[in-house]
Amino acid sequence: MNFAHFRSTSIILTALLGFAASCSTPEQTVRLIVTYAGQDARLERGGESEPVAVGTLVQTGDRLVTSTSPMDLQTSTGSVVRLRAYSHVEVANLVAGTSLNLSQGSLIARVERSAADEDFRVVTPTAIAGVRGTTFTIEEVPESGAHLVVQDGQVALRPRVRALEDPELPAADRAAIEQVLEGQEVVVGASEQATLDSQTVSVIERMNASEASNETPPALEELSAVAEPVRVQSAPIGLREQAEAMTLVQLDQELIERAADGQGQTDLRDELASAYTTERDAALDRLEEHASAFDLSSTDALRNEYQFLEVVNLRDETQVSGAVVAQAGDVLVVHTTAGIRRVRIPDVSYIDYLQQ
């Protein structure tokens, strides 16, 4: 089958989410609020770029860009997302669910099981992850495609074919592509990771690139011929992954709704920031207690758990040595031989790797 004559639209359209295309703007049923953002985080909307502030109501079509610091967000259904440093996400859809297009970098999310009707998806250049009730990390690795790690719950992962995002794609062609992709979809469970086969990545990238060019794409049969397009392996969840998941801060839903309704109100932004700090500090208390159960009182033990260690050089010319396991708001979480250490980002001068 040849799809050279089909051109993709410039954004993820409702075909991906299973909704009919419409000329009218549908009501936004999921609300997405920024609960933490570093000073260098940006929001791109309508061709304009602006700093992201706590309490910002993110809209469909917005593009979020992080630099040296992560950004935390929460949906009106209680799901929380941390967009890691140096990552780009476009909010593709917030109608009866959440669809995020991760074009660069990585994110970690905890999707509430209670949000039974929420369709939560993360779309990368090479794959689509369908999520419901789980904690997971997904990353788009250059030349290797999507890399998914599931801590708990389940995530369905399959290759992404951009042709399906064209509302004018003939029904017969759509059905043929869907049939192939349904056979390649895998369900990734707790403590498992999934990656795309290198041949699958190559075919997908060429198929998707052809949507924006006049080149002839590879035949669909080339994709269907891959014996194991998505590879699933065991992935024991280490302390680093546990620490980041534990520091995902969930705020009171009533506060999130009030913040969404009261855009621009300084008192609500301050209340959000204060609530975030309170919940973050409580999460760090729990993390400290959790980490104390592990005997990591020597540098060798830390290195065995985390593989590589860092030296955090502070502005007062002191140092903190250990494993940087997470950044929660403006606090860097460092696991040292004496336990968990909290380091404020403004106090950090630079970070080096600890030499063996």
User: pLDDT (tens digit, 9 = 90+) per residue, 62-99?
Assistant: 999 999 999 999 999 899 999 999 999 999 999 878 99
pLDDT of residue 132: 76
- From residue 240, alpha-carbon distances to 36, 255, 296, 304 in Å are 21, 30, 13, 12
pLDDT in tens, 119-143: 899 999 999 999 878 999 999 998 8
Place of tokens 């192939």: 180
pLDDT in tens, 185-219: 999 999 999 999 999 999 898 888 876 665 666 67
pLDDT score at 211: 66
Please, is 244 exposed, middle or buried when counting C-beta atoms within 10 Å of its C-beta (0-12, 13-18, 19+)?
Answer: buried
The pLDDT assigned to 306 comes to 96
Query: Do the beta carbons of residue 52 and residue 71 sit within 8 Å?
Result: yes
**15-39 as b/e: b if 16+ CB within 10 A:** bbbeeeeeeeeeebebbbbbbbbbe
Q: Which amino acid is at 300?
A: D
Q: What is the pLDDT of residue 322?
A: 98
> Please, are residues 77 and 97 in contact by the beta-carbon 8 Å criterion?
no
Q: 206, 268, 242, 205: which is closest to 110 by C-alpha?
A: 242
Cα–Cα nearest to 257, from 268, 273, 270: 268
Give the per-residue pLDDT at 133: 82
pLDDT above 70 covers what percent of the chain? 88
- pLDDT greater than 70 at residue 176: yes
Query: What per-residue confidence (pLDDT) applies to 18?
Result: 39
User: What sign results for the dihedral spanned by CA atoms 32, 38, 41, 43?
Assistant: positive
Helix (H, G, I), strand (E, B) or coil at 233: strand
CA distance 8 to 101: 15
pLDDT digits (tens, 9 = 90+) for 246-286: 999 999 999 999 999 987 788 999 999 999 999 999 999 99
pLDDT at 93: 92
Determine the pLDDT at residue 247: 97
Res 14: pLDDT: 33
The closest of 84, 185, 212, 76 to 139, measured between CA atoms, is 84
Break the chain into its structural domains and give their ranges: 14-244
Q: Which run of H or of E encompasses 72?
A: strand 71-75
14-244 classified as CATH 3.40.50.10490: no
| Average pLDDT taken over every residue of the chain | 88
> Is the pLDDT at 28 greater than 60, yes or no?
no
Mean pLDDT, rounded, for 291-298:
96
CB within 8 Å of 42: residues ≥ 6 apart: 49, 50, 51, 52, 64, 65, 67
Q: Where are the alpha helices (DSSP H) in the chain?
A: 14-17, 171-184, 198-210, 220-224, 239-246, 253-261, 266-291, 299-306
pTM for the structure as a whole: 0.87
Classify residue 190 by its DSSP letter. Answer: T
Residue linked to tokens 């895998």? 186
Higher pLDDT, 49 or 216: 49
Q: What is the pLDDT of residue 49?
A: 96
Q: Quick one: pLDDT at residue 221?
A: 86
pLDDT band, residue 305 (cuts 50/70/90): very high
pLDDT score of 5 more than 90: no
